[in-house]
Amino acid sequence: MTPLISRRSKALSGSAAVPGDKSMSHRALMIGAVAIGESRVRGLLESEDVLRTAAALTALGVSVTKGADGAWRVLGRGVGGLAEPATVLDLGNSGTGARLLMGLLASHPFTSQFTGDASLNSRPMGRVIKPLEQIGAVFNAREGGRLPLALTGTAEPVPITYELPVASAQVKSAILLAGLNTPGRTTVIEPKPTRDHTERMLRHFGAEVKITDLDQGARSIVLTGQPEITARPVTVPGDISSAAFPLVAALIVPGSDVTLTGIGVNPLRTGLLETLGEMGASLTVANRREEAGEEVADLHVQAGPLRGVTVPAVRAPAMIDEYPVLAVAAAYARGETRMEGLSELRVKESDRLRAIAAGLAAAGVGIEEGEDYLVVNGTGGPVAGGARIETGLDHRIAMAFLVLGMAAAAPIVIDDAAPIETSFPDFAGLMNGLGACIEEEKQP
């Protein structure tokens, strides 16, 4: 374990580029793996999660290498062309890698074994298993649909129309990736829009994807199966979920003025920016452009007072990974912030809703935790701090509470920083470069 301590910081200042978008990095590797030709991927997030996906694809017969120029090269095998692995596919802590790869392999006629670390092996996979079984895949999993599990793909996949019971980009993406090697049209109906990186990247590689808006905010996504997709260059923008941490830190540390460059601002990922705007944040989105079908921009943020707001449940899919650090912003805001529709947080790398609530309470912040909501009673100034936070092997909980400590009256200690490597390598180094004071806890 690697405990870190975060102390009250001086004003943060400067410009920084955060690591590449994790969601897009996984998808670029997987879709490139079933394209024809060599795809060059620049800006790939070289975190443990993404490197586990690269290793799994290598085991499936795909050449995935990093060139001297820093770009990654993926030599695809074509749709349906992956090979049976000789080893167990170990996805570490990556729920995204595991669920999306299950989708990709559901329509390949061989058996693969999946496992992960203690955190991943405790997470339920039933929401992905159910639709993939309808396509024809067979699963042999632990109780509750948990890893380790064996997946036998089908030689005769059946196109399905599947209505998601809960809005989930991972489940949607798993079905669409299974649909790549399935004849006919595979359709996913989502109750409200979720991040659409898979749809955008499939189109970028040449697949036919039709999106239709339905009643009451629902959407239909239709993929025409068995296309011949061809290699494409991909530039991965900075991950807005990673940018959220220095962004909120700059808002709560007095006197801060920070610019984050080249951040992905996909409209279905910007719920945090919308919410912080409602809270009164001094936040400017500038230099908008498009790369590989995705919107990219620079974010300029300055410290200033925040006010409590109500964050509606409908916004949750657009910011589901940002709630831990939003709760930190809410702790420093004036008044009550109520976040609704948070049930998805219960099945992330940890029970994030419980972890957020417990950590804030330990740091002296008034909270109310419900089954699917959280109320934070903001101080309007520095929180008490002085707490030791159990992160539960969750990288976002770890980073969120390190941010909390940057403006707290007393330091915050997190029990283990190691999981941060799954999404944000050298997080402490980047933050310290802006002026933060994060260091390893000295043992007595």
CA distances from 416 to 33, 76, 391, 394, 402 (A): 34, 37, 7, 9, 11
Cβ atoms < 10 Å from Cβ of 165: 10
- Contact indicator for 128, 99 with CB cutoff of 8 Å: yes
CA distances from 171 to 130, 162, 381 (A): 10, 10, 40
Residues 6 or more apart in contact with residue 417 via CB below 8 angstroms: 2, 3, 4, 398, 428
| Tokens coding 407 | 């403006």
Residue at 369: amino acid letter? E
Q: What angle do CA 54, 58, 62 make, to 5 degrees?
A: 105
Residue 113 CB-density burial (10 A; 0-12 exposed, 13-18 middle, 19+ buried): middle
Active site residue 321: yes
Cα separation, 65 vs 72, in Å, equals: 6
Order the strands of the 366-369 sheet from edge to edge: 310-311, 334-340, 373-379, 366-369
Cα separation, 79 vs 81, in Å, equals: 5
Which one from 196, 239, 321, 394 is the annotated catalytic residue? 321
Facing residues of 93 across strands? none
- Contact indicator for 43, 29 with CB cutoff of 8 Å: no
Facing residues of 368 across strands? 375
Reference 272, options 234, 229, 301; nearest CA is 301
- Identify the three-state secondary structure at position 64: strand
At residue 93, what are phi and psi to the nearest 5 degrees?
-100, 5
The residues annotated with a catalytic role in the active site are 321
